[in-house]
Amino acid sequence: MGRPRTNDDAVRERLVECATEMLATRPRQSVTVRAVAAAAEASTTAVYSLFGGKEGLIGAVRDRAVAGLFQDLSAVRTSADPLADLRALGVAYRRWGRGHSHLYTVLFGGVQSFDPSGEVGSGDPVRPLLAAIDRALAADVLTGDATAIALSVWATLHGLVTLELSGALDTATAEAAFGTSLDATLRGWTTAEVFRGPRRTGPAR
């Protein structure tokens, strides 16, 4: 049986999947070209041919994670209620993290850093969150600095999803904590008029 074609899409897919799993579960220095190629049943030549080397392969994993999270968050429909939109984005964020645990770990474990300030690329996962926050600020639903609000909301989402993925929270506990914690974070940034209004209770669905 001959070696698989180095430019084959199936080989590329196996290399990305194996690199994703290894980056999420092993020390980064142990993720070598040889180790990934062996796990993917490919040659080291394929890694260089398809990705230009280890860093190119890691970049492909990062790009897949960024694109996947951005796609899911961008699919959340905009409504007339900015707070409802932010909650829906939170639910989509958790759903993606639970469904793509290795990509999530790689995305926020050093390969991709979260920076809600400065220039935001058109495909950056933070863009839908910032857009929803901007709508809420324009509607006088939230008050404060958009970057600070984004970081506060993301810290809540990331902390809860990370605890859930690590097994520190069971599904039922995570479900209840997610809704109440996200609502509490959003209430902390609401204007006085909104804060005095009826408060939503229960987990986000």
Domain assignments of the chain as residue spans, ordered by start: 9-52, 64-195
Report, at the CATH architecture level, how domain 64-195 is classified.
Orthogonal Bundle (1.10)
Per-residue pLDDT of the chain (205 residues; tens, 9 = 90+): 455 554 689 999 999 999 999 999 988 888 999 999 999 999 999 999 999 999 999 999 999 999 999 999 999 999 999 999 999 999 999 999 999 999 999 988 755 555 555 555 556 888 899 999 999 999 999 999 999 999 999 999 999 999 999 999 998 999 999 999 999 999 999 986 555 544 444 444 4
Q: Map tokens 């006088």 to a residue.
A: 140
Residue 180 tokens, joined: 């109440």
Contact assessment for residue 105 and residue 166, using Cβ atoms and an 8 Å cutoff: no
C-alpha 23/C-alpha 195 separation (Å) is 43
What is the value of pTM for the model shown? 0.83
Side chain identity at residue 40, one-letter code: A
